[in-house]
């Protein structure tokens, strides 16, 4: 059942978690409505949940953590087919960002499956990059699931650096075909989800060659397997890459081409095309083909926030029922949520969850706006979207991974068990640090856009957007920070914008100074990479702070405004404290102010403590989604840990084959010699 009033407190619940809920002052329903975008959306989530629970085909009776990989892959395929079979009856198919992600999480858990990229990357790519004839031929195949397709871009030797992909597509005007080829081992496509055993088609990124001239990477829609037999077509070598840190229900695959011919119409032709005679018609804008990647990044940011929400929910609820040690000697063992060190591990990550979630909402709106403009040939906002999505992807995925690990550690030894949910949450989320662009590379891409602005700013002719407008502001010499209680959101935003601006200018100057120290501009850039990455981080964090406070200013319910502002201040002061050097630059902050900021964090932890459980309850994450014994709504952890352990296949028999085959003979032999 959805974790909202009045169903939060029920007979038989752990008394400590019930005490927390009764003592809370923040109304969970109101906070949940704001977090999710309205009471109607919270109600809709409940309807979707109930519909999923009522459908026998969507019940997840098998515990994935106890399954061998092949069986797990099979089970996830079953769930994916059932999920898409019933999707049109349960959700609004046009709302992938909202209802679609939620519906999928209820059924698939923290794993990918045969249709993950089919819908998240292939479908939008066909919608946005194919011409009318291609759209008519391909779109229905994808929507009806007549084929299963994936997105094959990353190679053994290259991932983020698309310009150096090695797979080639050479046009043969005599046959009007492209010849796909993998000229080296490192040209092997590697990592695409569902490529290994599930997909029979793929969008393949390959270097285009026409009449001996190279035109860079372009997408092609390629059949890989026979539609009836599912056997690889001649010239195709394909398979599964093996077990991974996580998402092992997905058959991430490898793919090699050996002079494999495809028709000319297989090249996506909305933005660029090759005519029959080999004439190349370039796109109007170089980055028009980046739409699918940006779409995935926009979804990723919400997905990462959702994973962090699960982690803080588990850690907070468990800390409310776990009693360990004494604060006052000879007293009752205390809830570990009362330790300030425990609060410091968990509460800033609660704040990050909302900061990231609200940023995800904004980037989604920007993506939809840009997509609409692209249909009309307007590319003015595309660089802004690309830079922002790249920076957010990097910061959010890194901070989410670190936050999940802190929550796991906050649960002590039980956090190490699969029963906690943390191993699956972490292994699923941490992949976001590298897929769809490695994080440091993403930061450097953001930096390349930022440094181009500096000369114009300094000359008085800035070319700034809404997101970068702050860079043109007149710098302040000193902050006015006195204490957390008296600091307004406007002041906090100004502090971050100042730090980001000064770091950018310093990184720019360092880079330019390097140009006189090193023989090439590329080496100068490389030697400034750390400072440039710091500039990108602060730029993104300034955006996150500004966006959060702008977003919560729309709230009209005074009963939740105090909690929202406290969480925003906690995020800002925690980030400020963690990057103190950037704020101390030029004496903008002094040591005393940094110390006061840290003390402000401690006061905010104390302020948020009474509502901690209520806040995570407002995330509205059901036990089905959490898949965590430690984070159960009812708080009845210990008895259910034992029940979970009894499901282990090792407990099906009192005597294991390991004992019979190896341990028993060893002991019998040893005893015979006594």
Residues within the annotated binding site for FAD? Answer: 154, 193
Instruction: List Cα–Cα distances, 114 to 424, 526, 623, 671, in angstroms.
Output: 19, 39, 25, 53
CA dihedral 83, 88, 92, 97 (to 10 degrees): 30
Q: Using CA atoms, how far apart are residues 472 and 279, in angstroms rounded to an integer?
A: 45
Contact 317, 635 (CB under 8 A): yes
Q: 359 Cβ partners below 8 Å, 6+ apart?
A: 301, 392, 396, 543, 544, 547, 548
Q: Where are the alpha helices (DSSP H) in 275-375?
A: 291-321, 340-375
For the chain, helix (H) and strand (E) counts, in that order, are 25, 11
Beta strand pairing call for 177-181 and 260-263: antiparallel
What is the per-residue DSSP string for 607-630?
Answer: HHGGGHHHHHHTT---HHHH--ST
Q: Using CA atoms, how far apart are residues 19 and 458, in angstroms rounded to an integer?
A: 58
Q: Which residues of 514-530 are buried (b: 16+ CB within 10 A; e: fewer)?
A: beeeeeeeeebbebbee
Q: Where are the alpha helices (DSSP H) in 55-122?
A: 69-90, 101-108, 116-117
Contact 108, 76 (CB under 8 A): yes
Contact 204, 189 (CB under 8 A): yes
Burial environment of residue 88 by CB neighbours within 10 A (0 to 12, 13 to 18, 19 or more)? exposed
What spatial distance separates the first Cα and last Cα of the chain, rounded to whole Å?
A: 61
Q: Using CA atoms, how far apart are residues 368 and 363, in angstroms rounded to an integer?
A: 9
Question: How many residues would you count in the chain?
Answer: 674
Contact 201, 148 (CB under 8 A): yes
H or E stretch including 597? helix 591-608
Contact 240, 196 (CB under 8 A): yes
Three-state secondary-structure class, residue 580:
helix
Three-state secondary-structure class, residue 217:
strand
Binding site members: 154, 193
Q: Which of 620, 35, 612, 635 is nearest to 345 (CA)?
A: 612
Phi, psi of 91, deg, nearest 5: -125, 165
Contact 497, 546 (CB under 8 A): yes
Q: Which residues are catalytic?
A: 436
Phi, psi of 219, deg, nearest 5: -90, 145
C-alpha 154: how far from its chain's center? 18
């Amino acid at each position: 059942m959805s974790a909202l009033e009045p169903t939060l407190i029920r007979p038989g619940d752990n008394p400590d978690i019930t005490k927390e809920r009764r003592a809370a002052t923040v109304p969970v329903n109101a906070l949940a409505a704001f977090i999710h975008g309205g009471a109607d959306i919270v109600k809709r989530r409940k309807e979707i949940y109930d519909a999923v629970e009522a459908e026998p085909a969507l019940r997840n009776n098998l515990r994935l953590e106890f399954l061998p990989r092949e069986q797990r892959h099979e089970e996830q395929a079953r769930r994916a087919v059932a999920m898409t079979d019933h999707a049109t009856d349960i959700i609004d198919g046009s709302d992938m960002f909202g209802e679609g992600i939620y519906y999928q999480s209820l059924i698939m858990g923290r794993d990918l499956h045969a249709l993950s990229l089919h819908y998240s990357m292939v479908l939008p790519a066909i919608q946005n990059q194919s011409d009318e004839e291609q759209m008519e031929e391909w779109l229905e195949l994808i929507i009806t699931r007549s084929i299963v397709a994936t997105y094959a871009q990353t190679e053994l030797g290259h991932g983020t650096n698309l310009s150096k992909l090695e797979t080639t597509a050479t046009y043969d005007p005599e046959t009007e075909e492209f010849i796909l080829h993998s000229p080296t081992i490192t040209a092997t496509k590697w990592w695409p989800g569902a490529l290994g055993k599930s997909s029979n088609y793929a969008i393949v990124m390959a270097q285009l060659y026409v009449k001996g001239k190279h035109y860079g990477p372009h997408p092609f829609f390629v059949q890989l397997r026979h539609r009836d037999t599912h056997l690889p077509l001649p010239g195709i070598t394909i398979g599964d890459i093996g077990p991974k840190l996580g998402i092992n229900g997905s058959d991430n695959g490898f793919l090699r081409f050996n002079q494999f011919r495809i028709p000319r119409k297989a090249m996506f032709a909305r933005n660029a095309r090759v005519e029959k005679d080999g004439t190349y018609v370039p796109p109007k804008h170089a980055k028009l083909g980046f739409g699918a990647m940006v779409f995935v990044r926009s979804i990723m940011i919400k997905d990462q926030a959702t994973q962090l929400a699960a982690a803080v929910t588990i850690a907070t609820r468990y800390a409310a029922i776990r009693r360990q040690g004494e604060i006052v000697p000879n007293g009752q063992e205390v809830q570990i949520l009362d330790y300030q060190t425990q609060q410091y591990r968990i509460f800033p990550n609660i704040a990050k969850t909302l900061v990231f979630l609200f940023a995800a909402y904004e980037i989604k709106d920007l993506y939809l706006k840009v997509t609409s403009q692209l249909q009309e040939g307007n590319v003015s906002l595309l660089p802004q979207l690309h830079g922002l999505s790249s920076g957010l992807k990097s910061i959010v995925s890194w901070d989410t991974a670190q936050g999940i690990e802190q929550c796991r550690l906050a649960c002590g030894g039980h956090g190490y068990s699969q029963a906690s949910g943390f191993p699956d949450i972490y292994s699923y989320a941490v992949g976001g640090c590298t897929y769809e662009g490695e994080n440091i590379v993403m930061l450097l891409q953001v930096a390349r856009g930022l440094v181009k602005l500096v000369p114009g700013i300094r000359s008085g002719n800035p070319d700034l957007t809404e997101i970068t407008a702050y860079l043109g502001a007149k710098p302040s010499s000193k902050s006015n920070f006195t204490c957390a209680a008296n600091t307004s959101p406007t002041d906090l935003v100004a502090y971050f914008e100042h730090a980001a601006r000064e770091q950018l200018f310093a990184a720019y100057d360092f880079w330019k100074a390097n140009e006189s120290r090193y023989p090439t501009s590329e080496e100068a850039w490389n030697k400034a990479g750390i400072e440039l990455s710091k500039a990108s981080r602060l730029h993104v964090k300034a955006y996150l702070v500004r966006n959060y406070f702008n977003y919560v200013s729309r709230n009209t319910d005074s009963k939740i405004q105090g909690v929202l502002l406290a969480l925003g201040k906690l995020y800002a002061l925690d980030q400020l404290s963690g990057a103190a050097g950037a704020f101390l630059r030029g004496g903008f902050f002094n040591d005393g102010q940094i110390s006061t900021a840290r003390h402000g964090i401690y006061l905010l932890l104390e302020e948020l403590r009474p509502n901690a459980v209520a806040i995570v309850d407002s995330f509205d994450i059901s036990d089905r989604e959490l898949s965590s014994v430690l984070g159960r709504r009812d708080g009845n952890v210990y008895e259910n840990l034992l029940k979970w352990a009894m499901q282990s296949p090792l407990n099906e028999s009192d005597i294991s084959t390991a004992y019979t085959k190896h341990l028993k003979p060893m002991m019998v032999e040893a005893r015979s010699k006594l």
